[in-house]
Structure 1
Amino acid sequence: MGEDKRYLIPAGLHRVEQEIQRSRFITTVAHTPTAEEAKAFVARVREEFPDANHNCWAYVVGPPGSTSTVGMSDDGEPHGTAGRPMLTALLHGGVGEVAAVVTRYFGGTLLGKGGLVRAYTGCVQQALESLPTRERVRKARLAVELEYANIEGVRRLLAAYEAEVLSEEYAVTVGYRLELPVSQVDAFRKALLDETNGQVLVELEEPRD
């Protein structure tokens, strides 16, 4: 079944702002489980600040520090001074499934390459320090088929095992599609068998990563 991987992800959209040598830097961080969602988030921030000089960005898909799916852009800043330092800060930030956009309004003072690297790194670090997070729990999906007589008892079990009903179907028997933490699957299956005296079919669908 694979281990039940739990790690921190952003709890929601988070924004911090700071001024560095008269330039205004606005850092927006979001939970983005996929590359598509990360790119859509970047596009939304660009639309929000269309008059900014730069909307530089970076994202990490997967667990904290995972480099299998990452992306970044300097968005017109000198090569390597924005996207790469932002990505490095995200990879060391202890949070997974995360994207950051740093919006810059130029204030008239050139920061130089080293200054830009420090600014973009610092912006992401500052945002991550105050970022509200929650635990990401790996989920599995189950297909459950049972007799009508057992509906009430089985429904009582759902909350105890953090199981969410995705769909239900009432025919000759009752069919549920459920999603619950991978760590609860074995205990939930046993509880179902006990509750229904074995009159239940439980099928594990592909676990979600």
Structure 2
Amino acid sequence: MTTTLGYTVLSAPSVLEIEEKRSRFICLLSPVQNKADIQPALDCAREQYPAANHYCWAYVIGDANQPMWVAANDDGEPSGTAGRPILNVLQQREVGDILAVVVRYFGGVKLGAGGLVRAYSNVTSQALDAAQLKTVLPMTSLTVIIDYAHENVLRNKLAALGGTLEDVSHAEAVRCKVSVPSQFAAEFCTWLTGQTSGKSIIES
């Protein structure tokens, strides 16, 4: 039985811009599910804002407190002044499954290392303030093996609990992966055992 904790994610992409000593800092927040989502989003940022001086970014995939992957990139800014500050804000605000790209148009006035850290941090923080966020509910994943006679009642029970049925295969029996809200996981296992008179197999 695998249980994932609930965490905060973006409801929709969001954009926010600030100006600091004539430089424009534009933060684009995008929901992402895996590493494959990153490059297309970066390419889109470059297409939307051509001729910018820097496209700095950071992402958190998974729960920000226990992420599967994190990364940051300064894209030519002095080391540690852009990507890492962006990432720090995402993690401090505990937002997961998110990519933040900050586009900078240089305004002619150098900000210095401290000024850059503040600017990249501030625009990311303000973008999160303006974004629509939601909480992903804790889910428990199980592999279930049942006979054909119980497939429909299984589907109905999952729908009633707000769960999902995935990767169904039909052979001598029905084998499937299910996701159930964690608060109902024990109830679901007890129900399935009773419904099948103990003939179901539940694997973690």
Is the pair's TM-score, using the shorter chain for normalization, greater than 0.5? yes
Contact 1:56 1:101 in 2 (8 A): yes
Q: 1:4 to 1:177 in 2, by over 3 A?
A: closer
- 1:9 deviates by 1.9
The answer to whether the 8 Å contact 1:30/1:100 transfers is yes
Aligned-partner Cα distance in 2 for 1:68–1:158 = 27
Ranked by relative contact order (alpha carbons within 8 Å, sequence separation 6 or more), the top structure is 2
Tell me the distance in 2 between the aligned counterparts of 1:67 and 1:98. Answer: 11
Counterpart of 2:141 in structure 1 is 140
Q: Specify the SS of the correspondent of 1:117.
A: helix
**1:56-95 aligned within 5 A:** 56-65=56-65, 69-95=69-95
Pairs aligned (count): 203
Q: Percent sequence identity over matched residues?
A: 34
Question: Taking structure 1 as reference, are residues 144 and 12 closer, same or farther at Cα in structure 2, changes over 3 Å only?
Answer: farther
Match of 2:112 in 1: 112
Match of 1:207 in 2: none
Measure, in 2, the Cα distance between the counterparts of 1:49 and 1:14: 15
Partner of 1:184: 184
TM superposition shift of 1:117:
1.8
Separation of aligned partners in 2, 1:85 and 1:105? 18
User: Which amino acid in 1 is paired with 2:153?
Assistant: G
Counterpart in the other structure of 2:162: 162
Q: CA deviation at 1:54?
A: 0.8
CA distance in 1, matches of 2:168, 2:73: 44
2:19 aligned partner = 19
Give me the TM-score of the superposition, normalised by structure 2.
0.81
- Whether the 8 Å contact between 1:16 and 1:26 is mirrored in structure 2 is yes
For residues 203 and 66 of structure 2, what CA distance do their matches in structure 1 show?
Answer: 31
Whole-Å separation in 2 of the counterparts to 1:86 and 1:170: 47
Q: 1:131 to 1:177 in 2, by over 3 A?
A: same
Change (3 A) 1:176 1:59: closer
CA RMSD of aligned residues (A): 2.7
SS at match of 2:159: helix
Q: Please tell me whether residue 197 in structure 1 is matched to residue 197 in structure 2.
A: yes
- TM-score by structure 1 length? 0.80
Q: Deviations over 1:81-122 (max 9, x none)?
A: 212222222221121232211001223333333322221110
C-alpha separation between the residues in 2 aligned to 1:162 and 1:119?
42
Aligned residues of 2:3 and 2:141 also touching (Cα < 8 A): no
Task: Name the CA shift for 1:114/1:168 in 2 (closer, same or farther; >3 Å).
Answer: closer
Deviations 1:11-30 (A, max 9, x none): 23221122223322210112
CA change 1:186–1:59 in 2 (3 A) is: same
What are the ranges of 5 or more consecutive residues in structure 1 without an aligned counterpart? 205-209
Task: Determine the structure 2 residue equivalent to 1:49.
Answer: 49
The gaps in structure 2 that reach 5 residues or longer are none
